[in-house]
Amino acid sequence: MIILGIDPGLNTTGYGLIDYKPHHTQFMATGVIKNSRTMNFSDKLHHLYRELGDVIRHYKPELVIIEETYSNRNPRTSLLLGHARGVLMVAARNLDIPVVEYASRYIKRALTGNGGASKEQVRYMVMKLLKLTNLPPEMDTSDALAIALTHCHHMKYESLMNPDKTQRKTR
């Protein structure tokens, strides 16, 4: 199963793809969708929508996993991020790809055992779990892979605890 993890952002959205099999998880690709800070808001959203659609059409994932919006100190920042997440989710759903969401603390805990882990700790675990020696310099890419890996861990847990139900409900 090809899983696309997304670390959403209005100016930089990271994505990571893994090929999940019950006894083997393999790295496929990673990248970022960047928006210029000078673009107007609606153009940024349109660019995210179009670019994610291209990624989905190219790699043909069966599932998209996206990080949930967290409460930010600045309500405007949270609102803008929510718009970006919404557009990314619609891009996937318009191509009939199910979308699952996980909270940031859950992702960090699933990979490192610590819900307050640093980005560097998450990156280290991503590289260890996928047996990678190198990742692009953007932290958004390792975060996106972490999001995808979290769902793999969740599916393994579900299959052990509930052999008849192997996948989380999709939205």
From first to last of its 171 residues, what are the pLDDT tens digits of the chain? 999 999 999 999 999 999 998 788 999 999 999 999 999 999 999 999 999 999 999 999 999 999 987 666 777 888 888 899 999 999 999 999 999 999 999 999 999 988 889 989 999 999 999 999 887 778 899 999 999 999 987 776 666 667 665 444 444
pLDDT at 79: 86
Contacts of 58 (CB under 8 A, 6+ apart): none
pLDDT at 171: 45
pLDDT at 22: 78
Classify domain 2-161 at the CATH class level: alpha beta
DSSP for 34-92, please give it: E--TTS-HHHHHHHHHHHHHHHHHHH--SEEEEEPPPPPSSHHHHHHHHHHHHHHHHHH
Catalytic residue among 51, 101, 140, 143: 140
Catalytic residue among 7, 51, 101, 143: 7
Query: pTM of this prediction?
Result: 0.88
68 a catalytic residue: no
Catalytic residue among 51, 67, 101, 143: 67
54 a catalytic residue: no
67 a catalytic residue: yes
